[in-house]
Structure 1
């Protein structure tokens, strides 16, 4: 299983799977991270890649003590389906 990396220079969490990169872009302001959009290439879609990406990103956010604004529809839907992450919401 691939590892999720926080590419701070590009402001996004990245996950490479089968030579394709999925990412969750964000904006960071103080102690708040706003997820703006998530991209999962069609070639790796439907395999839970987006969910693995967002779960790892949220785990990192929790570890860093940040709060989340889920402007991205995918991240918002993920948090809605997984109540263990709701405490991170602003």
Structure 2
């Protein structure tokens, strides 16, 4: 199945994101980018999911790195059918 048809990607809850950028640094496929700058210049920009289809299906490494708990992924059980495991 083409990757574009598999809805596995993170969602960031903006109200929880503190703009630390740890997810952006960790994610080698480049799913995350900085969002719009804070107009007041006081807070860091929040992160956004800029390239959702770059996310590797069933990868969840970004969730534990997010100390604010802003990153949410779908349930893995719903996506096992899209992955072929090789020995």
TM-score by length of 1: 0.30
Rg larger in structure: 2
TM-score of the two chains, using structure 2 as the length reference: 0.30
Write 1 or 2 for the structure with the bigger share of helix: 1
- The structure that is strand-richer by fraction is 1
